[in-house]
Chain A
């Protein structure tokens, strides 16, 4: 299940329970899956058309009028086109607006760089009052949507286009700001987010078989960062790998590096887009091209451990 599909379902369920929920979209309700909510509750759905800045401002107004707005479009437009509206109108006033964007990362595929958000986490993370969440699978996404509806304040949630495997265990309970530890490794710990969690788990299986003790942490909340778990991982192993479908500048890799360099400096390798734009291609092909497969992770770890 794609995380965007989980969003569509969660939003519909939430809409049934809470009458204060309103949803906005910018001519992409079929792709973002807000169309499900729109069909069930047409009077609480506002298609603002191809006008993302207007959509964000309207969401702010709805929040001021006592509603709980969810505003959705592709991540590149939600965070890029409307960035200053998000900054000035939503974050500066600390409004209760939920920005849930789909088509994050290069796994968007054939549409190419113009439609692949690879700087969105950086853009949202830098904003005061903003919470940033990147779920790893469908179940986690549903929990995230419920959790943020109970939380007051601006939140950015980044979802993907492609189907992803379920990675989180059944008993898992999402809490904002709490990372999930699959295992803490003695040789290396991989801190991953979004679709890279499943890639990290695959890489850890390969290496564990070769006798390397690899830990994996799902850092689904990038802000606020779970510093407690990071510190634990950094103290357990001398090497940390961060993995994200985003630029290595400003995203998870930066967040982890910023924190650890001040509190417990160790060796960190950031995996992600190395100051580059994405391009057209099939999603799996692109992950390979940009070095984000499980094999790339194992290779990076082996090289780093030799140093």
Chain B
């Protein structure tokens, strides 16, 4: 495999194109697998694309590079998204994506760090990633490393108590090398978050817990880039980016649909979806 150099590109149209390709890979692997989480992989695709193609310092050919920035996928069911960006930035061959969820594959239904270099920690049980991120951030500070930790959470996920325990820990230890990102797509499994169990007001909760809060449109590349720049200027406290997103984003018939949380596209749906994504590309 060729060693890819991450160019840390800031060109918005380049990033939009990469995000479109990420979505294509997500849909293809899910459709082949026949099961998996479509909605939440698509809603966070733009954010994670910016992280891996632009913001994070990382070496796909040297996954354990000591000075790398870390990405923790706390909402582990969005594994296809993580696998897509890892493959596309050169951690492993893109052909491996078609083994998703199959017996013997390193691409488990939920990410497994034991099996796949590039995955920092196994996730899938919601609510545990922010605590782990805190631990890494504390460790980086002990070693005087300037690396950052980015942790992606679902909006339903923040119903877990451990998230708020971790929120308190991060503020207490003034973890300004930590950034939590909430994929605020408004939906969980049993319905809209507001109906299952309301989480609003989200921003004032994090503010009250001592965090710096930034609110963005999670599908606007410029806003994503700017918010991640702002994170680097905040001192003495952790930052949370509250990203307003659309579940299923990029495929019209998946967008905003509760039922596409945990089902994969059929062959026909895949064809239609790929057509939409290529038209968008012009």
Contacts and interface: CB of A to CB of B under 8 A. Distances in A.
Interface of A: 25, 27-31, 35, 47-51, 53-54, 76-77, 80-81, 109-115, 279-282, 285-286, 289
Nearest to A76: B125
Given A48-B197, A112-B124, A285-B103, A279 B189 contact: no
Contacts of B124: 111-112, 114-115
Nearest to A282: B103
B190 interface: yes
B109 A280 contact: yes
B139 interface: no
Q: Which of B76, B105, B159 has the most CB of A within 10 A?
A: B159
B188 A27 contact: yes
Contacts of B40: none
22 contacts: A27-B156, A47-B197, A48-B197, A49-B188, A49-B193, A49-B196, A49-B197, A50-B126, A51-B160, A54-B161, A110-B34, A110-B36, A111-B109, A113-B108, A113-B110, A113-B112, A114-B110, A114-B122, A114-B125, A279-B108, A280-B109, A285-B103
B123 interface: yes
A27 B109 contact: no
Contact of A114 (B109, B127, B196): B109
**Which 3 interchain pairs have the tightest Cβ spacing?**
A114-B124, A49-B197, A281-B103
Contact of B161 (A35, A53, A76, A111): A53
A209 to B, nearest CB: 31
Interface in B102-145: 102-105, 107-110, 112, 122-127
A51 B110 contact: no
Contacts of B157: 50
A51 B193 CA distance: 13
Nearest to B188: A27
A274 B189 CA distance: 33
A87 to B, nearest CB: 17
B35 interface: yes
A113 B111 CA distance: 10
A227 to B, nearest CB: 36
